Chain A
Amino acid sequence: MPLLQVKNLTKRFGGLKAVNNVSFDIQAGEIVGLIGPNGAGKTTLFNLISGILHPEEGHIILDGQPLNQLSPPRRSLAGLGRTFQVVRPFAMTVLENVMVPLLARDPHMDQARDSAMQMLALLRLEHLADAQPDSLTLAQRKRIEVARALATRPKLLMLDEVLAGLNPTEISENLPIIRQVHEQGVTIFIIEHLMDALMAVSQRVLVMELGALIASGTPQEVTSNECVIKAYLGEETPTC
């Protein structure tokens, strides 16, 4: 059974179908990339899966459990973790930021502090435990975002552009973290604009355009797919 099943998912904003009849599966242990031009509906799809938005049609099933009726916090408790494209850490220390998801599961302060420290160590943030996030670089704040999501112990972790806006040095620092998290046994679904980075980590890539899923395959298959090339380069009357 796939870890995540998305079936015929549709979301309309007025007359616009932001997500149009999208279906796909993600198997446990995969790293799946999601690409597409701006406005293709990638983040909307993430928001539907994490419960911030509600679909007009379709089903979302995580590990056999239907998610449609669950609130975002319930989905998190069910094993769905995510980061946000625009990182806005809580106005508290880095350590406390990572304690928030832990305390939502177990109110014991000492245990939460210990587990959060371990999580920070994993993401090489332990030296910043007592810092205020708004004094840190974007790359560091993106890592806090990942640490927080990871502290929920997700079955599926959805990463929304965790590399966007970083310089090449920072990317080479943050990229291995995605692999490292994957090695911990976490299945990853990742949106990324940086093709090189995405192709380097993903085992399979989904491509969206204008709300629809237009291609799926290995990075090599997808980059040689004509529809994908047209979607990115633009064409007056798409034939795909």
Chain B
Amino acid sequence: MSAKRLQLLGGVLFAAIIAIPVFVESRFILHMVTLIFFYIAMTSAWNIPVFGGKMSLGHAAFFGLGGYTGAILYVKFGVSPWIGAAAGVAVSLLGGVVMTLPLLRLRGPFFTLASIAFAEVLRMIAIDWRSLTNGSVGLNIPFKPGWANLTFQSGKPFYFLSLILAVAVVFVAYRLRHSALGFHLRASASNDEAAQALGVDTRRAHFIALLWSSGLTGLIGVFYVFFIYVVEPSTMFSLTLFSLQPALNGIIGGIGTIWGPVIGAIVMTPFGEYLRFYLGTIQQGLNYVVYGVVLILTVNFIPGGIVSLVRPNRSNRSDGSGSSSDTQEAR
């Protein structure tokens, strides 16, 4: 697809996005598109450390930390959600530091596995610390509509808020990828030893990337809580909803790229909701079986994700370039 046609397509798409809440009255569609925006933001934030090859399956940790911080401050202390959002970012950044420092010694799958454990531990804490979190029942956001309370009668404000979030996170990811940090991360992902020998402090780069990612994910978590009016451990720290889903979106769209997470979220969010409604009622967990099959097929047949089909020469070379010839010259 040529650049001009892509631009045109983007323009049409953007116009449609703005027009949807004006012309469409269906709450279902508004809700679905809002959810897509949230997932675009989440997946793009998740994707930042992936530039450097660090794949987390524990991002629900940051999502939950942000969401819980915003909710607790509002429900228990009457603090405005807007201030709560800043606090949520701060707490999830702290979570990012705690998770990242010990985990950065781990490579590849070990980092990924340890990140799952981190989110699970936080879920347990959220269940057990009843005085603060109200245990597994969670906290409800009281319905007092108004911008100050980030609570609305109509679905439209959150439609635009989540759109702004999505655009902002994609923009941040874009800027980071094309900065010195982005170069360091990409270099580390393809050959960490060489990057270090060239003076790149790759551990520092991974650390900063994870901080961006955790802070942004915490911010999204705060807004999400006010979107669904409730925090509870099994939702906010959900392995499937907020740790696996962003990873799945990213892998299917194209990890380590800017547009992969966007496309992945657009495709997978409605698909996932559809599966959950129709297959979930037949047999619980059946939808995840389908997810698994889709994932296996993607990784096998289009390892670069959907974006690699659009731009086959650019985005699908995320690893192991020239590996076939390495064996030759090693002899």
A interface, CB within 8 angstroms of B: 50, 52, 71-73, 76-77, 81-82, 84-92, 96, 99-101, 103-105, 107, 109, 112, 132-134, 138, 141, 148-149, 151-152, 164-165
- Which chain A positions have C-beta within 8 A of B323? 88
B interface, CB within 8 angstroms of A: 178-180, 183-184, 186-187, 189-191, 193-202, 313, 317-323, 325-326, 328-330
Question: With A84-B193, A87-B329, A88-B190 known to touch, is A76 a contact of B321 (CB < 8 Å)?
Answer: no
Q: Are A165 and B184 in contact (CB under 8 A)?
A: no
Q: Are A141 and B322 in contact (CB under 8 A)?
A: yes
- Which chain B positions have C-beta within 8 A of A138? 325, 328-329
Q: Are B179 and A86 in contact (CB under 8 A)?
A: no
Q: Are A133 and B196 in contact (CB under 8 A)?
A: no
Cα A109 to Cα B200 with chains together (Å) = 15
Cα A100 to Cα B190 with chains together (Å) = 12
Distance in angstroms from A112 CB to nearest chain B CB is 8
Q: Are B191 and A82 in contact (CB under 8 A)?
A: no
Q: Which of A87, A96, A141 contacts B183 (CB 8 A)?
A: A96
- Which chain B positions have C-beta within 8 A of A141? 322
Q: Which of A90, A132, A164 contacts B194 (CB 8 A)?
A: A90
Question: With A109-B180, A165-B329 known to touch, is A88 a contact of B321 (CB < 8 Å)?
Answer: yes
- Which chain A positions have C-beta within 8 A of B199? 73, 76-77, 101, 104-105, 152
Distance in angstroms from B146 CB to nearest chain A CB is 43
- Which chain A positions have C-beta within 8 A of B321? 88-91, 132-134
Distance in angstroms from B3 CB to nearest chain A CB is 16
Distance in angstroms from B319 CB to nearest chain A CB is 6
Q: Are B201 and A104 in contact (CB under 8 A)?
A: yes
Cα A195 to Cα B283 with chains together (Å) = 70
Q: Which of B178, B180, B329 contacts A86 (CB 8 A)?
A: B329
Distance in angstroms from B153 CB to nearest chain A CB is 46
- Which chain B positions have C-beta within 8 A of A77? 199
- Which chain B positions have C-beta within 8 A of A132? 313, 317, 321
Q: Are A100 and B187 in contact (CB under 8 A)?
A: yes
Q: Are B201 and A73 in contact (CB under 8 A)?
A: yes
Cα A173 to Cα B320 with chains together (Å) = 27
Q: Are A88 and B194 in contact (CB under 8 A)?
A: yes
Q: Which of B200, B313, B317 contacts A101 (CB 8 A)?
A: B200
Distance in angstroms from B74 CB to nearest chain A CB is 39
Q: Are A72 and B196 in contact (CB under 8 A)?
A: yes
Q: Which of B184, B191, B193, B329 contacts A104 (CB 8 A)?
A: B184
- Which chain A positions have C-beta within 8 A of B186? 90-92
- Which chain B positions have C-beta within 8 A of A52? 193, 196-197
Lowest 10 A-B CB distances belong to which pairs?
A: A76-B199, A107-B180, A101-B198, A134-B321, A103-B180, A72-B196, A104-B199, A134-B322, A91-B190, A165-B329
- Which chain B positions have C-beta within 8 A of A149? 197-198
Q: Are A90 and B322 in contact (CB under 8 A)?
A: no
- Which chain A positions have C-beta within 8 A of B198? 73, 76, 81, 100-101, 104, 148-149, 151-152
Name the residue on A nearest B318 (C-beta). A91
- Which chain A positions have C-beta within 8 A of B180? 103-104, 107, 109, 112
Q: Are A104 and B179 in contact (CB under 8 A)?
A: no
Q: Are A107 and B179 in contact (CB under 8 A)?
A: yes
Distance in angstroms from A229 CB to nearest chain B CB is 25
Q: Are B184 and A50 in contact (CB under 8 A)?
A: no
Distance in angstroms from A75 CB to nearest chain B CB is 8
Q: Which of B195, B201, B326 contacts A100 (CB 8 A)?
A: B195
Q: Are B194 and A76 in contact (CB under 8 A)?
A: no
- Which chain B positions have C-beta within 8 A of A89? 190-191, 321-322
- Which chain B positions have C-beta within 8 A of A134? 317, 321-322, 325
- Which chain A positions have C-beta within 8 A of B194? 84, 88, 90, 148
- Which chain B positions have C-beta within 8 A of A103? 180, 183-184
Question: With A134-B317, A138-B325, A141-B322 known to touch, is A72 a contact of B183 (CB < 8 Å)?
Answer: no
